[in-house]
């Protein structure tokens, strides 16, 4: 059990049989009445967020979400095949379980697979990935003062906004949390 007074960003708790991760929290001590904690929680299975208010000192069960390091191997048409780095077992993860992270998956990439009560509930990608640009419009010489951007298609099929000087064949560093271009690799 964990007290809501001990909430920290990233702590995982169990509410109504589902695992929730604390995204934001705020301790509130009004002039009158008892203190309470207002928290924004992300459902680790569905990805949806909810805001809940708890009485100060209220206790919740801690959700035990296992993180297993695996290597993404390939897409077999039905799912995404990953290999456990410890025992070399291969499992298939559906696109629904991966969510938006599918557009950043690159073969042989190490990922963290989240397991709650024996069921795969999702995965965590590295915060940054390096991907190659396979298609983009050519940049216009001298058009750099405006800070303009253009679309670039990456080797995984994802489309991101990049500065005009980026060309086909460039390797880019992409933030997987926001989907934004960071820099050339």
For 4-50, the pLDDT digits (tens) are 888 888 788 998 888 888 888 999 888 888 889 999 998 877 778 89
CA dist., res. 149 & res. 165, Å (int): 9
CA dist., res. 41 & res. 54, Å (int): 12
CA dist., res. 61 & res. 130, Å (int): 38
Short-list 124, 122, 113, CA closest to 69: 113
Instruction: Please check whether the domain covering 66-124 is classified as CATH 3.40.50.300.
Output: no
pLDDT digits (tens, 9 = 90+) for 111-125: 998 888 888 877 888
Tokens describing residue 130:
């390096």
The whole-angstrom distance between residue 36's C-alpha and the CA centroid of its chain comes to 29
- pTM given for the model: 0.69
The CATH number corresponding to 2-60 among 3.40.720.10, 2.30.30.30, 3.40.50.720, 3.50.50.60 equals: 2.30.30.30
């Amino acid at each position: 059990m964990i007290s809501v007074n001990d909430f920290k960003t990233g702590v995982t708790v169990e509410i109504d049989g589902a695992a929730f991760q604390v995204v934001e929290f705020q301790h509130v001590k009004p002039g009158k009445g008892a203190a309470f904690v207002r928290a924004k929680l992300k459902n680790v299975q569905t990805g949806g967020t909810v805001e809940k208010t708890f009485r100060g000192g209220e206790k919740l069960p801690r959700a035990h979400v296992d993180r297993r390091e695996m290597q993404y191997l390939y897409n077999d048409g039905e799912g995404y095949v990953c290999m456990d780095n410890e025992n070399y077992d291969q499992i298939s993860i559906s696109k629904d379980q991966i969510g938006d992270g599918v557009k950043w998956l690159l073969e042989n990439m190490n990922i963290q697979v989240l397991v709650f009560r024996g069921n795969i509930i999702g995965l965590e990608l590295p915060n940054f990935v390096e991907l190659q640009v396979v298609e983009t419009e050519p940049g216009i010489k001298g058009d750099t003062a405006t800070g303009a951007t253009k679309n670039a298609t990456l080797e995984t099929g994802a489309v991101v906004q990049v500065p005009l000087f980026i060309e086909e064949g460039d390797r880019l560093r992409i933030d997987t949390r926001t989907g934004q271009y960071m820099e050339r690799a």
